[in-house]
Amino acid sequence: MVSRVIPVEAFDLVVFGGTGDLARRKILPGLFRRFVSGQMPKSAQIIAAARSDFDTSRFLDVVSASINEFAGIEFASEMLLAFLENVRYVKIDAMGSDGWDDLKGMMRGECVRAFYFSVSPALFGPLAERLKTFGIADDQSRVVVEKPFGRDLASARELNQTLAHHFREDQIYRIDHYLGKETVQNLMAVRFGNMLFEPLWNAQYIDHIQITVAEQIDVEGRGDYYDKSGAMRDMVQNHLMQLLCLIAMEPPSQFSPDAVRDEKLKVIRALDEVPPHHIVRGQYAAKETVPDYREQVGNRSSRTESYIALKAHIKNWRWAGTPFYLRTGKRLKSRVSEIAVVFKEPPHSIFEADSGQKSNTLVIRLQPDEGITMDVTIKEPGPGGMRLVTVPLDMTFAEALGPSADDIPDAYERLIMDVIRGNQTLFMRGDEVEAAWEWTDPIIEGWERRNDVPKPYDALTSGPDDALMLLHRDNRKWRAL
Ligand code: BG6
């Protein structure tokens, strides 16, 4: 199967925070890959704006180095030179007036203008305001904002109001890069493009759903930020919540931004409050040469969680009685992101009790080895009577798509191309973000009120024992990491 690359129209993309970590690791190498694939037009211009004292030529060295390190593809050196031809740097003062006229002078006439705010949320307002007062952004321009989008409902509301002061909602692209992952979109294709699953997609047939985002990495030098956020704010309020929405939402009437986001919003609003005994917080302890969480964030008395597991319920007809178990953490045994939909057992088994029958599980695997598998029960081949085994029906994309699976764009690349195309389907709307904070705020406030201390867990294991108990109590088991 040959993947189709449809070029986007010409654009000027300004990346504020253009020398930062995200720009170097994801945004610039991602744009380069789109350039190599032919999706990004040769005339597109990328302008990095930051406060560092660089000039364009020094910045191009940074870009080359980041592409060599992070692009993950082979390419001819002429290709890199062609890409760099349209990359510029401008030194800018986000809070003052220096550099803004220079930026204005670099923008071209007729093309899409997009502004990527890869900076602290405190700068969203000043940047938005200056883009307008210096006449750089107009009614057609788009702004892309990175997470964290606030740290609670009040701050998220404030950010929404600040942005709304300068831009319409259809110009604002709030990134949650999990929505740009290939399998996440495939989840919608599988659910809504097939007749097979939807009739079974409810509490009558589904026993429970597990959503896991396990990481092996630690806080990776982001201790300052992470210790003020923790797994709840860093991962659950956004990435896991978005996965939950896509799994649980009603079929939208069409695949359009507001139709999809309306349905996701209904899921968040239908989430029940989570009582404290349905949540387990953990913090990793040292193991052999691996230092503990507190040492890594430089805060010996930290009470921030690096792991969380919880049981959520959705109060609607489709899901009443089906628990959603969510877990995420750092420094775990392996890197696994997946959603497992565990079906109920058949109402009556015609086979012997020890025949080996198991319930069907649909596993949507985000990383690594992205793909979808469905565990089905079949007869063990050969003699020996009616012995049953469970085998996966494998829909691993790499196999189905052949070599073109290598062309699957990384989440950031896809999302930036969507910004240029003006498609907001895979971006969060302001009301969605606020609703997500509305659900998480009382949980976090409860911990603060009770001075809750997270349970220690050994680094490079499956997390705290209490998390195992959360499912054992319900006669269920987490999938192995
Ligand atoms: C980010 C979090 O949003 O997502 C990080 O801030 C986390 O803490 C990362 O490591 C995980 O993303 P991915 O794509 O590597 O699963």
Amino acid 261: pLDDT: 97
- How many residues are listed for the chain in this entry? 481
Residue list, ligand 1 pocket, CB within 6 Å:
147, 215, 234, 337
List of residues 6+ apart from 370 with CB closer than 8 A: 181, 182, 183, 396, 397, 398, 408
Q: How far is the CA of 102 from the centre of ligand 1 (A)?
A: 34
Tokens, residue 236: 């659950």
Tokens, residue 42: 């040769």
Q: Which atom of ligand 1 is nearest to the CA of 181?
A: 14
Residue linked to tokens 């692209």:
173
pLDDT tens per residue, range 11-52:
999 999 999 999 999 999 999 999 999 999 999 999 999 999
Between CA 443 and CA 438 the distance in angstroms is 10
Q: What is the full per-residue pLDDT of the chain (481 aa) written as tens digits?
A: 556 788 999 999 999 999 999 999 999 999 999 999 999 999 999 999 999 998 889 999 999 999 999 999 999 999 999 999 999 999 999 999 999 999 999 999 889 999 999 999 999 999 999 999 999 999 999 999 998 899 999 999 999 999 999 999 999 999 999 999 988 888 999 999 999 999 999 999 999 999 999 999 988 888 999 999 999 999 999 999 999 999 999 999 999 999 999 999 999 999 999 999 999 999 999 988 889 999 999 999 999 999 999 999 999 999 999 999 999 999 999 999 999 999 999 888 888 877 777 889 999 999 888 889 999 998 888 887 888 889 988 877 656 665 455 567 889 999 999 999 999 999 999 999 999 999 999 999 999 999 999 999 999 999 999 999 999 999 999 999 9
Q: How far is the CA of 389 from the centre of ligand 1 (A)?
A: 36
Amino acid 88: pLDDT: 95
Among candidate residues 165, 239, 278, 348, the one labeled active-site is 239
Q: How far is the CA of 28 from the centre of ligand 1 (A)?
A: 18
Amino acid 40: pLDDT: 94
Q: Domains of the chain: which residue ranges?
A: 11-146, 179-472
313 is known as an active-site residue? no
| Ligand 1 binding pocket mutation candidate from 177, 238, 335, 428 (most atoms within 8 A of CB) | 177
Q: How far is CA 24 from CA 47, 61, 63, 409, in A?
A: 13, 11, 7, 17
Q: How far is the CA of 462 from the centre of ligand 1 (A)?
A: 18
Amino acid 408: pLDDT: 76
Residue 457: is it exposed, middle or buried by C-beta count within 10 angstroms (0-12/13-18/19+)?
A: buried
Q: Which atom of ligand 1 is nearest to the CA of 335?
A: 16
Q: Which fold has domain 179-472?
A: Dihydrodipicolinate Reductase; domain 2 (3.30.360)
| Ligand 1 binding pocket mutation candidate from 234, 414, 415 (most atoms within 8 A of CB) | 234
**Can you give the pTM of this predicted structure?**
0.94
Handedness of CA 326, 332, 335, 336 (dihedral sign): negative
Amino acid 54: pLDDT: 87
CATH of 11-146, one of 3.40.50.720, 3.40.50.1360, 3.20.20.140, 3.40.50.300: 3.40.50.720
